[in-house]
Amino acid sequence: MGHRLHVIHASHPCVAAERALQLTRQPYRVVEYPPVLHVAAMQLRFGHPTVPLLVLGNGERVAGSRAIVRRLDELVPQAGLLPADAVARERVLAAERWGDEELQPAVRRLFWLGIKQSPRAIDGYAAGSRLPLPRPLRTLVTPVVCRLAAWRNRADETSRRADLAALPGWLDDVDQLIADGVIGGPQPNAADLQIGSSLRMLATFADAWPLLAGRPAWQLARQVCPVYPGEGGLPPGSLTTSGGPASRTSSLSPAGNPSSA
């Protein structure tokens, strides 16, 4: 019996979990929920409010992208999601933890603030969704969803400025992890999935794309997720405040669609 992966479409941690399933060649199907509304649905159904959540064929439940990758590594250790060598394993786990606790929530906050400022961009991220949500209805509910998502993720002008200011240093850190051989190898590991999926979503933000273009971090993102919903999604200015540039990234012009880089 196959597994069931419960997700929000275009969510970067959900993408990481699905890529882990693909790399371990596990049979699965996707169960999709609408953003924000998933919280109540998941809580009522599973007693856990967030996605991704994996229900294994035997009924076992695993919540969160890191826990899912860990369980899949236990099931299929030969896939190499975590190195067998103890030292290398700890380095990958440390990088994965940083990707989950620092980079992932920052990209999520920027996404919802960007959609709040450019609500029509949600159409691109909805491409490929299994939910039968007509565009007029999506247009109607997006502002409400954005406000709720921003509140739930503590996304505001203060977080926006802090996240954008931190991005250049974070990308330098990713490039260094690649240079050190912790991530970016021929076979994606747990840290590759966690970091690469967040960077891949980041690459769809026109204001952030110039920081990624041409660097090893972008190659990692493309290796982990060759295609991502919302390509070129958030237009220029989506990550700026009404009072002017939020950080050094917002003063840069887009370098082109990431898919052509």
Cα separation, 89 vs 136, whole angstroms: 48
- Which residue in 75, 137, 117, 129 sits closest to 241, CA to CA? 117
Model confidence at 240: pLDDT above 80? no
What is the per-residue pLDDT across 90-122, written as a single tens digit (0 to 9) for each? Answer: 999 999 999 999 999 999 999 999 999 999 999
Classify the phi-psi angles of 110: left when phi > 0, otherwise alpha if psi is within -120 to 50, otherwise beta: alpha
Domains and CATH numbers, the chain: 3-79 (3.40.30.10), 86-260 (1.20.1050)
Model confidence at 35: pLDDT above 80? yes
Find the length of the chain. 261
Q: Where are the beta strands (DSSP E) in 86-243?
A: none
Confidence (pLDDT) at 135:
82
Average pLDDT over residues 233-240: 89
pLDDT band at 37 (very low <50, low <70, confident <90, very high): confident
Average pLDDT over residues 63-84: 97
Confidence (pLDDT) at 242:
39
Other C-beta atoms within 10 Å of 63: how many? 19
pTM, two decimals, is: 0.89
- Which residue in 128, 28, 17 sits closest to 73, CA to CA? 17
Tell me the CA distances in angstroms from 100 to 92, 204, 239, one per residue in order.
12, 19, 22
Model confidence at 139: pLDDT above 90? no
Cα separation, 132 vs 142, whole angstroms: 15
Q: Which two tokens stand for residue 250?
A: 């917002």
Confidence (pLDDT) at 173:
98
Lowest mean pLDDT among 73-82, 96-105, 142-151, 246-255: 246-255
Confidence (pLDDT) at 182:
98
pLDDT band at 250 (very low <50, low <70, confident <90, very high): very low
Residues 6 or more apart in contact with residue 44 via CB below 8 angstroms: none
Amino acid in position 231:
E
261, 42 Cβ separation under 8 angstroms: no
Confidence (pLDDT) at 241:
55
What is the per-residue pLDDT across 177-231, written as a single tens digit (0 to 9) for each? Answer: 999 999 999 999 999 999 999 999 999 999 999 999 999 999 999 999 999 988 7
Work out the burial of residue 119: count CB atoms within 10 Å of its CB; fewer than 13 is exposed, 13-18 middle, 19 or more buried.
Answer: middle
Report the mean per-residue pLDDT for the chain.
90
Confidence (pLDDT) at 1:
67
With pLDDT > 90 as the criterion, what percentage of the chain qualifies?
79
Residues 6 or more apart in contact with residue 122 via CB below 8 angstroms: 115, 138, 142
What is the per-residue pLDDT across 14-29, written as a single tens digit (0 to 9) for each? Answer: 999 999 999 999 999 9
Query: For residues 85 and 244, which has the higher predicted lDDT (pLDDT)?
Result: 85
Residues 6 or more apart in contact with residue 12 via CB below 8 angstroms: 104, 107, 108, 197, 198, 200, 201
